[in-house]
A and B are shown apart, each in its own frame.
Chain A
Amino acid sequence: MTKLIVLGVGLAIIGFILWWFFGKHQVTSTAAAVTNDRQSVDIEVSGGYSPENVVLKQGVPAVLNFTRKDASTCLDRVVFSDFGINQELPKNQAKAIEIDTSKPGEYEWACGMDMFHGKLIIK
């Protein structure tokens, strides 16, 4: 009897994992606020990036402020491969990263090991 209950619970957890990680979930997206011809977005790094999608206006100098709150070494660098940026993120310090917004398009950023991703849209 106990074994049947354990089996049931186990299968339920598997179902939950499938739904939680593979189901469709909304992704937070933020458009940059433009002030005095500059735009900036604050991004918190904790178990991933929030927001994960950032929209920037083309041609306006942009700064992304990354603050790492997570102790994981997985997230201690942020890499924008299209821009040649590989920035170390010291814990609990805001690090400003300047983005060249001259070319519109979709760019990805990722952690140093390419496991967490974020998307940058310039339009």
Chain B
Amino acid sequence: MGQIRFLLNGVDVILDDPNPTETLLDYLRENRKLTGTKEGCNEGDCGACTVSVAALEGGRLIHRALNACILFLPQIHGKSIRTVEGISAPDGRLHPVQTAMVKFHGSQCGFCTPGFIMSMYTAHRDGRQDFDDVLAGNLCRCTGYAPIIRAAETASKQPQPDWLTDEAERLQAMAGGDITLDGAFLPVTLDSFADWYVENPDATIIGGATDLGLWVTKLMRNLLPTVFIHRLQDLQTIEITEDGIRIGAGVTVARVRGAMVDRHADFAEMLRRYGSVQVRNSATIGGNIANGSPIGDTPPPLIALGTTLTLRRGSKRREVLLEDFFVAYGKQNRQAGEFVESLFIPNQPDTLACYKISKRFDQDISALCGAFNITVENGMVTTACIAFGGMAATPKRSAKVEAALVGQPWTEASVNTACDAFAEDFTPLSDVRGSSDYRLRTAKNLLRRYFHESTNPLTETRIVGRGVA
């Protein structure tokens, strides 16, 4: 028997042996009758369930907007949860984001409003003003968003309310060591996790739960036994070495984005459109790789950058090129009891471009995602590493296209010739995100886009983003 502890709207909560895959949303609504937090989609796509979660990291309190519908109770141990009911003053005065939303008519039906409020509240604490990104994970069907943005902009000029207290010390006292719940293990050291996982290779490893959450809420699956890896500090490090950058598998996509801004700006820009703030705050880079999805957005650029994975089983480690990790659909080069520990991106000149093509620009799964890393010397292509998601059963390099380019002059004619090789590299599927023909045609055109961008940098080639503005 074990227990988890957290703060809920400032109040200490201790739960004895909670169901490890009960979502925070169900807990709030059903156990606590805190019905301000809404269930909109139950899969992390609409943001109606957004809560603000504060956690101690490196001695600092970090506030994050997260989707409560795909957040399991063990994930909130040692953290402070604020819901829409918990941000006004004890005497009833409203938070500036609440006041502004009323004033600017930012709510109509009001059902998405608590989620917007909590995203805006979290941004307000952080001083963030990139509201299109901050609010990309909150869907509103009534307003068309304009009044919500007006409210957010106005509130951003208001100071932090004086009733918001620092909860760092209270959280510090909760941290503690390994926790064992009925059906779940929450280790705090990487070694204890590695050893445990060798003994329990059938356990479900849960990082951010942005994918696994849906296995519970939509596929109605039983994930037990589970092991939660979010407390492993050693899995969350970003280390800059002489040769490159090593990123722990438990690093969130939000932090990966930060680390890429100065190295590979186009990768960072693509990650701006990966999921939403709520998803990026929870999803881990290791999870995006280890789940082996053919449409994960981080593998194509990572492959194009020559990334190596470190896999670990017990105390044994081995390295594998990321492109070799994906064996077939649903099958990765990973043994029982082995897990992705970190990935390493070698230093290199930044010639990477990432193109994420989806029905909607923000918070959408790619129809295809292409990453191009081509070097040209004296007008000749010297190296080419091109990788795609959404074009095959796994993230995959375009070997034939690369071969058709390397050693050729970097000209439109070479590009057009190389485009013919796409059909040899890929026979994409048709699905709801795009037809096979569209995917193939667009993949070719993305090589053309890369060519335009490298040879005519002043030509406008993208509707959104070009590096990080």
Q: Do A and B come from one complex?
A: no
